[in-house]
């Protein structure tokens, strides 16, 4: 059982590391090659790629609070690690959600610490929505999966216990 847990942990650690690496490589290239506000591509009818510096959190909440948001990113990432080590989750749905949330928090945390802002670059065309990045997508996908895990798996476990 311990070896299975360690193998699962290694797999999801690699997934998280890959997401962080892709996120940081893309952001690094944007910083090197693009000017703030520059539109540098599009997927017609879906999104534009535009370089935006975000000093806040989601929807620019807490704009200019880089130190606080950096601390939150670090603490949240550490909380995921502590939860993983302490609870030793066996369910791959839960593991995937935690890996995605962790990767997103680390990716945006690196930006805040290294640059003082988060590099955002994906702008949806079909409705008014804040510009976002790969790390944001990982956090949202992970949060959705975590909610689904709670609804599907955790509640079915509660019913079994009754």
Active site residues: 120, 136
Phi, psi of 35 (to 5 degrees): -100, 150
Cα angle 91, 22, 119 (rounded to 5 degrees) comes to 110
Query: What is residue 119's three-state secondary structure?
Result: strand
3-state class of 127 per DSSP? Answer: coil
Region for 45 from its dihedrals, namely left if φ exceeds 0, alpha if ψ lies in -120 to 50, beta otherwise:
left
CA torsion 17→23→29→31, rounded to 10°?
A: -120
Q: What is the layout of strands, in order, in the sheet containing 39-43?
A: 39-43, 47-54, 118-124
């Amino acid at each position: 059982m311990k070896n299975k847990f360690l193998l699962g942990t290694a797999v999801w650690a690699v997934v998280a590391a890959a997401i962080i690496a892709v996120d940081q490589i893309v952001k690094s290239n944007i910083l090197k090659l693009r000017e703030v506000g520059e539109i540098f591509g599009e997927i017609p009818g879906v999104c534009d790629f535009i370089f935006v510096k975000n000093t806040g959190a989601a929807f620019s909440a807490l704009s200019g609070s880089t130190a606080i948001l950096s601390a939150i990113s670090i603490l949240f990432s550490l909380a995921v690690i502590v939860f993983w080590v302490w609870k030793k989750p066996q369910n791959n749905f839960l593991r995937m959600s935690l890996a995605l949330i962790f990767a997103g928090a680390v990716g945006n945390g690196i930006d805040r610490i290294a640059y003082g802002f988060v590099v955002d670059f994906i702008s949806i065309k079909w409705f008014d929505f804040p510009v976002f990045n790969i790390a944001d997508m990982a956090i949202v996908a992970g949060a959705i999966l975590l909610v689904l895990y709670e609804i599907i798996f955790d509640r079915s476990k509660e019913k079994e216990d009754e």
